[in-house]
């Protein structure tokens, strides 16, 4: 299963999100390299400078003046210096975060291995008197500063030792950037997808044999160019189809008159009955080809569809076939009303029955079925002929195409199945040529409600 999404919108969103993640990661690394690390080093230098000043003052100022000095440090610098005997709670070495590690390295470099940074967790306290809510204060950073033979605890404001954590700000900015970028991508893809969806709908409609209106040329220049090309293709194909229909109808009409004269002349010839019968059969074959040309040239899309029973059309086709001495049995069930073009559908059904009679031979069965689970309704004509090779099925649905075994001795121009295929697409149905159990072919039309 591919992890790459199929839709253009999802792919654009994925690319933008990946680009944003890469951009944010690069920004964080560059910030750490060019800004955060130098700032931590600067904070460490200032931190060590304060400690040097404090130790120098404690070593050279008389002990009697230490209390006054420590009070000024707390008042003016917000730095507390506490004698070791004042610390009774347990303290632990501070964890090696990037800022602490930089300060600890410089601290030991200046004041020896005994100097270190510790953390003291103050006990929880009540938020308000009597409400029972406990608040845990943030831990306090203590610096153990050797002074002579003793040491002092120095308490700096946390910001002077550890740089502020901007992780939440970076995460928030990344999420906001992703949302804004995705919103922009959705708007952009909507502007692109809307004309593409209209183009796809028009192409499907055109492929079903219908004549959709021209596609509105909107959107980016590239999409407008595709819509313009489609509209031009639609115009050209419509014109060519009209010219083809006019040509076939004209040629077929012009052939009717000389064929009628030939038939009349044959009736007046003193030929023997067998020869006359052969000539009349040849004229009937030519008339059949002309009828196929005229059917193929007709524009069935002009006929308005209406709700009607497919079973009724099937029964009428079997009765017409019987008048032409084509015997076909029926196995019909009641189907729901379908939106059909009556004349076009009659032509398709007649073509299937006539095709089975000419090429199939033997038993012909006209059948209708309904699948209540899938909502599919089928009409089938089954014969006991030699069958159709599977690799030839799609080719036989094309115009002027016949099986090699049918190209001699049988009348027709190879248009019957092409007409059925076109009418099926016009109705949103599918046309299949399937092998029949026991030998033969099943020509099936499948309709969905």
Q: Which helix (H) or strand (E) holds 81?
A: strand 80-82
Rounded to two decimals, the pTM is 0.48
> Is residue 171 one of the residues assigned to a domain?
no
271, two tokens: 């030929």
Residue 402 domain boundaries:
300-448
In a domain, 244, yes or no: no
CATH number for the domain that contains residue 418: 3.30.565.10
In a domain, 3, yes or no: no
Helix (H) or strand (E) holding 144: strand 140-147
* Residue 154 counted as domain residue: yes
Alpha helices (H) in 164-220, listed in sequence order? 167-207
d(CA 58, CA 70): 9
Residue 270 lies in a domain: no
Taking CA atoms, 65 is separated from 50, 60, 376, in Å, by: 19, 10, 102
Is 342 part of a structural domain of the chain? Answer: yes
Strands across the sheet containing 116-120:
80-82, 150-155, 140-147, 116-120, 92-93
Nearest-angstrom CA–CA distance, 258 and 59 = 133
Q: What is the CATH number of the domain that holds 24?
A: 3.30.450.300
* Alpha-carbon gap, residue 47 to 229, rounded angstroms: 72
Q: How many domains does the chain have?
A: 2
Identify whether 322 is part of a domain.
yes
Per-residue pLDDT of the chain (449 residues; tens, 9 = 90+): 466 777 766 777 777 777 877 877 787 777 666 666 666 666 777 778 888 888 888 888 887 887 888 888 888 777 888 877 665 567 788 887 777 787 888 888 888 888 888 888 777 776 665 566 777 777 778 888 888 788 888 887 766 555 555 556 667 777 787 787 778 777 777 777 788 888 888 888 777 666 778 888 887 787 788 888 888 888 887 777 777 667 666 666 667 667 777 777 777 766 667 777 777 777 777 776 776 666 666 666 778 889 999 999 999 999 988 888 888 999 999 999 999 998 889 989 998 998 898 887 678 999 999 998 888 999 999 998 888 888 888 888 887 776 655 444 455 567 788 889 988 988 889 999 999 988 889 999 999 87
239 inside domain: no
């Amino acid at each position: 299963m591919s992890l790459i999404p199929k839709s253009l919108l999802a792919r654009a969103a994925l690319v933008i999100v990946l680009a944003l993640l890469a951009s944010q990661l690069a920004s964080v690394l560059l910030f750490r390299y060019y800004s955060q690390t130098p700032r931590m080093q600067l904070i460490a230098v200032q931190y060590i400078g304060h400690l040097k000043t404090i130790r120098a003052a404690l070593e050279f100022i008389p002990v009697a003046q230490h209390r006054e000095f420590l009070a000024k440090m707390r008042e003016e610098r917000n730095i507390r210096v506490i004698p070791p005997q004042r610390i009774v709670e347990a303290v632990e070495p501070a964890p090696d975060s990037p800022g602490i590690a930089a300060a600890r390295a410089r601290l030991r470099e200046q004041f020896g291995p005994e100097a270190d940074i510790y953390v003291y967790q103050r006990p929880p306290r009540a938020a308000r008197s009597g409400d029972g809510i406990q608040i845990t204060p943030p831990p306090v950073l203590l610096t153990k500063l050797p002074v002579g033979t003793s040491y002092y605890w120095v308490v700096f404001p946390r910001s002077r030792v550890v740089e502020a954590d901007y992780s939440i700000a970076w995460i928030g900015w990344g999420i906001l950037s992703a949302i804004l970028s995705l919103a922009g991508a959705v708007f952009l893809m909507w502007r692109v997808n809307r004309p593409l969806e209209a183009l796809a709908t028009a192409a499907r409609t055109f492929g079903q044999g219908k004549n959709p209106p021209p596609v509105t040329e909107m959107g980016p220049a590239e999409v407008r160019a595709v819509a313009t090309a489609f509209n031009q293709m639609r115009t050209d194909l419509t014109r060519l189809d009209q010219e083809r229909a006019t040509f076939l109808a004209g040629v077929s009409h012009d052939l009717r008159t000389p064929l009628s004269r030939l038939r009349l002349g044959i009736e007046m010839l003193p030929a023997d009955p067998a020869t006359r019968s052969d000539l009349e059969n040849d004229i009937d074959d030519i008339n059949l080809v002309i009828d196929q040309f005229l059917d193929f040239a007709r524009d069935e899309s002009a006929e308005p569809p209406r709700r009607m029973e497919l079973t009724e059309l099937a029964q009428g086709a079997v009765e017409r076939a019987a008048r032409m001495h084509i015997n076909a049995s029926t196995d019909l069930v009641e189907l729901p009303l379908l939106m059909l073009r009556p004349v076009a559908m009659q032509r398709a059904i007649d073509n299937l029955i006539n095709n089975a009679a000419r090429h199939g031979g033997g038993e012909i069965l006209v059948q209708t079925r309904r699948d209540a689970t899938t909502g599919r309704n089928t009409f089938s004509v089954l014969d006991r002929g030699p069958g159709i090779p599977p690799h030839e099925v799609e080719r036989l649905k094309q115009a002027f195409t016949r099986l090699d075994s049918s190209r001699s001795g049988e009348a027709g121009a190879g248009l019957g199945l092409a007409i059925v295929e076109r009418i099926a697409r016009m109705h949103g149905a599918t046309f299949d040529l399937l092998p029949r159990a026991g030998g033969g072919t099943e020509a099936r039309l499948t309709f969905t409600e």
